[in-house]
Structure 1
Amino acid sequence: MPLRHGVAFRDLQEVLDAMEFHGWIGVQTLHGYGPDMYCNPDQCIQLERIKAMGHFIEIPSNDDARLAAELLKGYRVGFDALTIDLAPYDISIYDEREAWPYARRRFLFIRDMKLSYEMLAFAMNP
């Protein structure tokens, strides 16, 4: 059953607004999937403002422990691509605690249906 209510954002614009105006911090692995791959010109300018504010963190791709630690702080939003069977709905909850030893909580995945089919944003519940 897909989750429809009680989420902080449902698409990339709402994610960017949450990072710029509502205290969310963006987290991305270096050279990984991120909003800069999909933003329109206005959103790309907004993303640059977010980065200048220090509301966007890039973590080396081989540092899973730091990535997990950052996401577990709460009010963090990260970007990744997964196969559709792991998060089949536009908003899904994925319990990766057993598969990922650093995880202590469930992940809330939000797929922006306006973007590329495989693009997923995931957020840790605060």
Structure 2
Amino acid sequence: MSDSTDDRDRFLHEIRKAAYSDEPFPLIALGVDGPLMAIVYRESATGPLLGRFYDYATLARQFDGASPELIADAVVVGDLLDPSGVGVSYHFPWEPELINSEESILWIGEVFTNSMMKTWGSK
């Protein structure tokens, strides 16, 4: 296992832990393809499904020198506990399989880099 895969997995482990912490957010699904990740969650138990895409390599560069655990904490506090924006529904064909539901996901933030579009856009 490469260091980047190990770091990505540590990051995802921290996201899962945060979902069940003192200030939980309902985590619905995590999708992973190499360094690319899709996180689907709800801001509140009755809120709409929200999704965000992340590229762990980009996060690691943005938080230069930070541990995967600290990066996950920043993502939880900055993105997941307080989502900004209303999101856009893209109706990707793979969404029902990821979340085990036909419910729409509202994707928030910068959805795709070119590499993400190749990986996630048409699956």
TM-score, normalisation: structure 2: 0.30
Higher RCO structure (Cα 8 Å, ≥6 apart) = 1
More helix by share: 2
TM-score, normalisation: structure 1: 0.29
